[in-house]
Amino acid sequence: MRVLVTGGAGFIGTHTCLLLLEKGYDVVAIDSYINSNKKSLQRVIEILKSNKTTKDVSIKIFNIDIRDKKKLDELFLDAQNSGQPFKSVIHFAGLKSVKDSLSNPLLYWDANVKGTINLLNIMNKYKCKTIVFSSSATIYGLSDDEILSENIEIKPINPYGVTKAVIEKLLNDIFDSEPSCWRIANLRYFNPIGAHSSGMIGEAPIGVPSNIFPYITQVASGVLDKLTIYGNDWPTRDGSGIRDYIHVMDLAEGHISALKYLVKNNHQIINLNLGTGLGTSVLELVDIFERANKIKIPFEFSERRKGDSCKVIADNSLALSCLDWEPKRTLKEMCIDGWRWQSLNPNGY
């Protein structure tokens, strides 16, 4: 089956493209390369070529920003004229920094919301009505619940989260307008970390990372001096914040399972939390990383970070029951795989 992957060169996009290709999908990936690197998908090809069973697999890659209506239209038209129209889209393209979204909300609305509106218009025009959307647990905002299920209130607290929530709303409206045509899955990610076990692809943030895991790996490799832990006075077992970390390969598998689920079931829109359901504190994560990789991570505590939650853990029961999926990789594997990627690629791609 032919799948269009938007934002295919990003962290989760590359891992998902790799898996799709391994599973025999015909993949067309597009990316603006604003926050990603052209080498990432080349690495995906290298991984596939190094394996006997996938060495002849091919992927088509285009430099397209989803805000560019003309190029998107040409892409869909070419696919249609070639007799292989797109039947489904996995939509990752978008900006994802909470901090940048606070200083530049217009850019976030433009890239994420306007870009998605363009994409949906073109999908509608070419009758491609199956979409797996890259949403985020950030849409739950500062919920009072510690274990978050899909039916709790959506109340994002930053422009990035607002754009994800607005896109979900738009997808709901589109579904309601033609319920017998659309198949839509909003995948709400918790905290994806780790990397493919080859060490060839991984997370490559531009500048100083704001997320904990790339920060830890950059401290481990000596790019950064020490980790700052935001708060030691949270009401948790050790005073540091608790999150639900999920291996990026488990997340990638979740996308393929969600796509399969949509294709084989009736038309619907479904919201699914993709997390492990397990909470890990910052201090526990540092400890597991240190023991798994035998590297010391120097750290200091600072004040709590503005806008942080104490605990964010997925209730993943809906995803476990609907999808043929469960997260399989341990935190130790996340730490080992993430460090393999960083140590082999200290400056990213």
Which one among 118, 143, 191, 345 touches ligand UFG, defined by CB under 6 A? 191
Spatial contact of 85 and 3, defined as CB atoms under 8 Å apart: no
Least distance (Å) between residue 92 CB and ligand UFG: 13
Least distance (Å) between residue 165 CB and ligand UFG: 11
Q: What pairs with residue 192 in β-bridges?
A: 246
Indicate whether 137 belongs to the interface with ligand UFG (CB under 6 A). yes
SS3 336: helix
Least distance (Å) between residue 82 CB and ligand UFG: 36
- Residue closer to ligand UFG by CB (options 231, 348) is 231
Give the integer Cα–Cα distance in Å for 333 and 173. 40
Q: Per CB under 6 A, which of residues 98..117 are in contact with ligand UFG?
A: 98
108, 126, 140, 160: the active-site residue:
160
Indicate whether 27 belongs to the interface with ligand UFG (CB under 6 A). no
Spatial contact of 293 and 333, defined as CB atoms under 8 Å apart: no
Indicate whether 232 belongs to the interface with ligand UFG (CB under 6 A). no
Contacts with ligand UFG by CB under 6 A: the residue count is 21
Give the integer Cα–Cα distance in Å for 275 and 278. 8
Least distance (Å) between residue 225 CB and ligand UFG: 12
Indicate whether 215 belongs to the interface with ligand UFG (CB under 6 A). yes
Which one among 96, 196, 255, 340 touches ligand UFG, defined by CB under 6 A? 96
Residue with the CB atom nearest ligand UFG in the bound state: 241
- Residue closer to ligand UFG by CB (options 303, 324) is 303
Site string for ligand UFG, 296-315 (x = CB under 6 A): ---------x--x---x---
Active site residue 160: yes
Spatial contact of 133 and 168, defined as CB atoms under 8 Å apart: yes
Indicate whether 162 belongs to the interface with ligand UFG (CB under 6 A). no
Give the integer Cα–Cα distance in Å for 312 and 246. 12
Least distance (Å) between residue 200 CB and ligand UFG: 23
Q: At what angle do helices 212-220 and 331-344 cross, to 10 degrees?
A: 60
Give the integer Cα–Cα distance in Å for 162 and 179. 25
Burial of 320 (0-12, 13-18, 19+ CB in 10 A): middle
Parallel/antiparallel/unpaired status of strands 130-136 and 26-31: unpaired
Residue where the block lists tokens 């598998």: 253
Least distance (Å) between residue 263 CB and ligand UFG: 27
Which one among 32, 88, 138, 273 touches ligand UFG, defined by CB under 6 A? 138
DSSP string over 13-73: HHHHHHHHHHTT-EEEEEE--SSS-HHHHHHHHHHHHTSGGGTT--EEEEE--TT-HHHHH
Closest CA to 293 of 246, 235, 332, 264: 332
Q: Per CB under 6 A, which of residues 240..279 are in contact with ligand UFG?
A: 241, 243
Provide the annotated active-site residues. Answer: 160
Interface ranges with ligand UFG (CB under 6 A):
96, 98, 136-138, 190-191, 210-212, 215, 227-230, 241, 243, 282, 305, 308, 312
